[in-house]
Structure 1
């Protein structure tokens, strides 16, 4: 195993205290690895103990990382994560809110009321709670960066509740950035498009998928590829790089921006 992932430096996050949520797999795990490779001290907040594997990988490469198990769909989970991060690292420079992901994929009229509520709780509330829990600490210090991970799926098919949740993340990013800029805190977001990733370690839901479920999901794949200019899914590295840029001092004059990372699809 190489000492660092490819295309990284040691400069941008040297000594920075960074919290990454939802980093047991996928984009979040890639972000945590790369921030560590560039010198950051990382805390992963996730409700899955599988995040310990990412911490172990970071430590094997010589980085510093910690795992804190918490349910970020509840404010208490975000609040205890913030307390743990400050007590462990001394302060928090950067928060990356990455928890989210559509649970079901089907036409809107097929969703149950409870399913709609679960989708919003999964893909909007963790970012709302994360911002609320960490913001007072950053305001008190007069500095900090919050990077929210949204989605270009604000315009897509077969996942309307998820789209509405990510639209909320976009609005939160713009409005909070307006409030927080004078207090020294930047708030930005990326909006990933379709992303190639290893098979999920944690299923989005526990249900058995029918042929119809597979067909509805394939419609999402087809629409996603058709909507991009480059006609392909992105890679984890291609999604992590813009997140790291926005989190770094290279983006010090950028706030309130939601950056689409969807091969040309603007969402």
Structure 2
């Protein structure tokens, strides 16, 4: 029950790692605010509520500062504070060599995998500073060193830099800022795909290169599970990690990213 009496905001909570983290926070006594721009988040919230935990959900676009600000204001209005923020929005949209990316695709990748974390940190921070306490857990990626997804890698590199730099500023205010960097993760097919368009034969080959490289880069030669990714996130968010800040923890089966 590591999250008893804690108000925890989880972004990207409609599916995948975010949904698993939200369920586990609730199972360990936390009050959860689930955020996503997909209506699927209502199903996750309903499942948590059915288990008897206190939860709310909020539909918002976290690629904008307005969306992030609305989310944090909603959490504070509902529960009076934000103890923990888990920034889980992000993910590769396209997989191809950098010279094949269009300018608008590069911008879309950065908006997806850097700005939600940047905006949510900025929006949540004043509430935490006012209370003199808080934890921010950013979800990065070991894909900062990988092939066929340079814009995503650059975005997650930005998340790593944000984590390290903000930790310097926030420590004296009673706030920890940490991150985990997941590797390849086995998960059910996404109900809302990041790229809604069917892959061409060439795009499928480029994506397979990512799969092959990811598997070969791990010492275990396999993808991780959702539970294996959620557990380190929960640890970093909890008081068990009270003397850890500014750290990006690789969770890639030995691949350091």
- When normalised by structure 1's length, the TM-score is 0.96
- Between the aligned partners of 2:79 and 2:46, the Cα distance in structure 1 is 18
- Residue equivalent to 2:173: 183
- Between the aligned partners of 1:245 and 1:203, the Cα distance in structure 2 is 28
CA RMSD of aligned residues (A): 0.5
- Residue equivalent to 1:150: 140
Where 1:92 maps in the other structure, the secondary structure is coil
- Residue equivalent to 2:66: 76
How far did residue 188 of structure 1 move?
0.1
- Between the aligned partners of 1:55 and 1:211, the Cα distance in structure 2 is 38
Q: How does 1:119-130 map to 2 (within 5 A)?
A: 119-130=109-120
Q: Is 1:93 matched up with 2:74?
A: no
- Residue equivalent to 1:168: 158
How far did residue 208 of structure 1 move?
2.2
Where 2:228 maps in the other structure, the secondary structure is helix
Q: Deviations over 1:99-131 (max 9, x none)?
A: 000100000000000000000000000000000
- Residue equivalent to 1:55: 45
- Residue equivalent to 1:211: 201
- For structure 1, the 5+ residue unaligned runs are 1-10
- Between the aligned partners of 2:197 and 2:231, the Cα distance in structure 1 is 34
- When normalised by structure 2's length, the TM-score is 0.99
Q: Tell me which stretches of 4 or more aligned residues in structure 1 moved more than 2 Å.
A: none
Q: Deviations over 1:85-104 (max 9, x none)?
A: 00001111000000000100
Q: Is 1:227 matched up with 2:230?
A: no
Where 2:18 maps in the other structure, the secondary structure is helix
Q: Is 1:113 matched up with 2:103?
A: yes
2:226 to 232, 236, 243: 236
Q: How many residues align?
A: 257
- Between the aligned partners of 2:85 and 2:161, the Cα distance in structure 1 is 18
- Between the aligned partners of 1:214 and 1:36, the Cα distance in structure 2 is 38
- Between the aligned partners of 1:231 and 1:65, the Cα distance in structure 2 is 38
- Residue equivalent to 1:6: none
- Between the aligned partners of 1:208 and 1:29, the Cα distance in structure 2 is 25
